């Protein structure tokens, strides 16, 4: 990982954010295994650099949309860990009142407008938010986070065309972790060629190392500047890998030996360890990094306690919010 000219406080913020996501997800995995959490959880472990690099390049007012694997986007955009954990526990204090679970989360106070597990569903929603911003001239940028599988849905192509035509201030951030559920990308398309969709629609596209938070940050900065200048959307494809199973806490070794070898390769590209090396190169002590870890763990443990101690929604309100 190259050294970075970015200020040290920003690198430390990136580190803290990635560690918070990692510890949060590990805790969720443990609580699922313990039978305490019932909602299906798609863990983000291994992909932390993408949510972190992209969200820290945004302003608080900018909008973010996610999918089924979005605890990381919520935390990176600055959402409250207590409210997220309570939602995952199905409690009334959760960010969706305990009605959404892991896959329907939101933190509108920090710009996370929503997550939807229908693959590709939030891509057009992000474009819609960007259209609203363009009409209001509020200079906000909207970001859609989605997986490689989502690029095989019509929504992706329809939206990128419309966004290009109207020069919408929207970023399409594809997290290419090579798999859609258990299917490898080369079982689903003739080549690993997602970024080529950009050229077909006249949208600049870049492929970056999604396990390098610094390059994700720089790519997002460049794309947001372009969007704020009225030059329209960008597609950023981030190469990465999820360490755990498609859903649930397992290490996902059940889809064959190839996956096991791949996982070993990707474990060596741990985005957190890579940023730690950069920080140490910039003179940060290991003790300081260990303190960050301890602090994040304390935040996550407090979130679990908050969720455990919170009441479930009132059964009498089961029909509230239902049209
Ligand atoms: C429209 C739609 N089709 C199928 C599914 C079932 N499904 C849930 S996640 C998933 C795979 C998504 O893969 P990808 O977009 O690469 O995201 P990843 O899980 O790798 O983060 C599928 C097929 C769904 N939720 N929505
Ligand atoms: Mg995928």
CA of 82 to the centre of ligand 2 (A): 27
CA-proximal residue: ligand 1, atom 20 (nearest): 180
Pairing of strands 179-180, 183-184: antiparallel
Domain assignment present for 77 = yes
Residue 254 pLDDT grade (very low, low, confident, very high; cuts 50, 70, 90): low
Dump pLDDT digits (tens) for 116-160.
Answer: 999 999 999 999 999 999 999 999 999 999 999 999 999 999 999
Distance CA 302, CA 57 (A): 28
Asked if residue 206 belongs to a domain, the reply is yes
Q: What length does the chain have? A: 323
**Residue at 168 is within a domain:** yes
Kindly report, residue by residue over 309-318, the tens digit of the pLDDT: 999 999 999 8
Query: Is residue 320 in some structural domain?
Result: no
In a domain, 315, yes or no: no
pLDDT of residue 256: 59
Burial of 297 (0-12, 13-18, 19+ CB in 10 A): middle
- 253 vs 141, more confident: 141
- The whole domain housing 220 covers 8-308
281 in a structural domain = yes
In a domain, 137, yes or no: yes
Mean pLDDT of 32-37: 96
User: Residues with Cβ < 8 Å from 249, sequence gap 6 or more?
Assistant: 28, 29, 30, 32, 33, 41, 43
Percent of the chain with pLDDT over 90: 90
Whether this prediction's pTM lies above 0.95 is answered by yes
Q: Is the pLDDT of residue 1 over 60?
A: no
Q: What atom of ligand 1 comes closest to residue 121's alpha carbon?
A: 1
Which atom of ligand 1 approaches the CA of 151 most closely? 15
Tell me the ligand closest to 147's alpha carbon.
Answer: 1
**Structural domain count of the chain:** 1
Q: What is the CATH number of the domain that holds 302?
A: 3.40.50.970
State in Å: Cα 144 to ligand 2 middle: 15
In this structure, which ligand is nearest to the CA of 181?
Answer: 1
The number of beta carbons lying within 10 Å of the beta carbon of residue 292 is 18
Please report whether residue 3 resides in a domain. no
Please list all protein residues whose beta carbon sits less than 5 angstroms from ligand 2, which is an ion.
Answer: 147-148, 177, 179-180
Instruction: Quote the CA–CA distance of 105 and 316 in Å, as a whole number.
Output: 22
Provide CB contacts within 8 A for 7, sequence distance 6+. Answer: none
């Amino acid at each position: 990982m190259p050294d970075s000219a970015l200020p040290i406080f920003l690198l430390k913020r990136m580190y803290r954010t990635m560690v918070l996501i990692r510890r949060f997800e590990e805790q969720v995995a443990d609580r699922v295994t313990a039978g305490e959490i019932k909602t299906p959880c798609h863990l983000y472990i291994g992909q932390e650099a993408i949510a972190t690099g992209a969200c820290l390049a945004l302003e608080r007012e900018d909008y973010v949309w996610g999918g089924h694997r979005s605890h990381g986007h919520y935390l990176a955009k600055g959402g409250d860990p207590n409210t997220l954990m309570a939602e995952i526990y199905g409690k009334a204090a959760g960010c969706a009142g305990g009605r959404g679970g892991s896959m329907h989360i939101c933190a509108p106070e920090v710009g996370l407008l929503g997550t939807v597990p229908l693959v590709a569903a939030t891509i057009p929603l992000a474009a819609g938010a960007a259209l609203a911003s363009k009409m209001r001239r509020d200079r906000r940028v909207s970001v859609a986070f989605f997986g490689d599988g989502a690029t095989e849905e019509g929504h992706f192509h329809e939206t990128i065309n419309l966004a290009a035509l109207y020069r919408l201030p929207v970023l399409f951030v594809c997290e290419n972790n090579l798999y859609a559920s258990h299917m490898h990308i080369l079982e689903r398309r003739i080549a690993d060629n997602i970024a080529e969709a950009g050229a077909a629609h006249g949208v600049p596209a870049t492929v970056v190392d999604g396990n390098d938070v610094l390059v994700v940050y720089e790519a997002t900065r460049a794309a947001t500047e372009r969007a704020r200048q009225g030059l329209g959307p960008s597609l950023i494809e981030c190469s990465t890998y999820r360490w755990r199973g498609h859903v649930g806490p397992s290490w996902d070794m059940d889809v064959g030996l190839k996956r096991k070898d791949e996982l070993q390769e990707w474990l060596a590209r741990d985005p957190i360890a890579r940023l730690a090396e950069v920080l140490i190169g910039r003179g940060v002590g290991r003790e300081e990094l260990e303190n960050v870890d301890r602090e994040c763990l304390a935040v996550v443990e407090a979130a679990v306690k908050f969720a455990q101690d919170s009441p479930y929604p009132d059964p009498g309100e089961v029909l509230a919010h239902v049209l």
